Amino acid sequence: MSREPDEDVDLFDLEQFKRSFKKILQRALKNVTISFRVAETNAVWIRVAWGTQHAKPNQYKPTFVVYYPQTPYAFISCCHLKSTVPLLHQALRVASKHHQIVQMDLRSRHLDSLKAIVFKEYNQTFEDHNSTAPLQERSLGLDINMDSRIVHENTIEKERIRRVTQESFGDHPQPQLEFAQYKLETKFKSDLNGSILADREEPLRCLVKFSSPHLLEALKSLAPAGVADAPLSPLLTCIPSKKMNYFKIRDK
């Protein structure tokens, strides 16, 4: 969400926020249930059960909104009624006194991880208390009976991979995301004249999706495990810094 550049930031009034939010939704929908709760982190949790003009609110499929006052960020769960999304955005925008809502290309089932990425808190929030251990303690053990030249070569390469991985991901545990999706659109390029694909007006489209219960930790472990070369592609390592796991790649 965003404000005008020269607009002053007002002190947050929770009761006014509640009234404004309810007013927008209840004016448009007769059957809607709204409840609020303030968490210990000062976040405002909102639960909205949607109904229709002829049906009572479905309490089994509510939408949850977590809004952090004095910040431009709110986190919204999936809405089973897609038609309610614009209305929900309008209520949130008016109640929070912002002028527009811009949807981020970042999704996860873990609120703490989303919050850590958006507020750039993953260095502290997911701090690894063992990350300060000396390098010798964290190094992989090597067989002392191996040829000394091979040991020296492997040690140098493993130290390079460790250093590059640390530069890309840091020593701390990663925020938990379940996937990263990349959509590619590109024109076919060929030196051959008369190629069917070269004459194609529409771009070629490709969708690549990486999935894992803990994607960033999985990516972080690829090079040390010898599965991928170090460093990994910036398209994989930039997810936390760009605050997105949906990417669209087009020709320049």
Per-residue pLDDT tens digits for 77-133: 988 888 899 999 999 999 999 888 888 999 999 999 999 999 987 664 444 433 333
Cα(1)–Cα(93) distance, integer angstroms: 7
pLDDT for 134: 36
Is the peptide bond between 134 and the residue preceding it cis, with omega within 30 degrees of 0?
no
pLDDT for 63: 95
130-to-127, 135, 213 alpha-carbon distances in Å:
9, 11, 23
pLDDT for 146: 58
Residues in contact with 249: Cβ distance below 8 Å, sequence separation at least 6, in sequence order: 182, 183, 184, 185, 186, 235
Work out the pLDDT band at 139, boundaries 50, 70, 90.
Answer: very low
- For 188, the token pair is 């076919």
The alpha carbons of the chain give a radius of gyration, in whole angstroms, of: 24
Compare 204 and 60 and report the one with higher pLDDT.
Answer: 60
Residue linked to tokens 């701390």:
172
Query: Percent of the chain, pLDDT > 70?
Result: 81
Mean pLDDT of 3-19: 74
Cα(17)–Cα(37) distance, integer angstroms: 12
pLDDT for 4: 54
- For 70, the token pair is 């004095």
- Threshold 0.85, pTM exceeds: no
Task: Outline where DSSP puts E strands in the chain.
Answer: 32-38, 44-50, 63-67, 74-76, 179-186, 204-211, 246-250
Phi, psi of 245 (to 5 degrees): -130, 15
Q: Where are the domains of the chain?
A: 14-103, 132-250
pLDDT for 200: 76
Work out the pLDDT band at 243, boundaries 50, 70, 90.
Answer: very high
- Residue-wise pLDDT for 174-232, tens only, equals 999 999 999 999 887 776 666 677 677 788 899 999 999 999 999 999 999 999 999 99
Mean pLDDT (the chain, rounded): 84
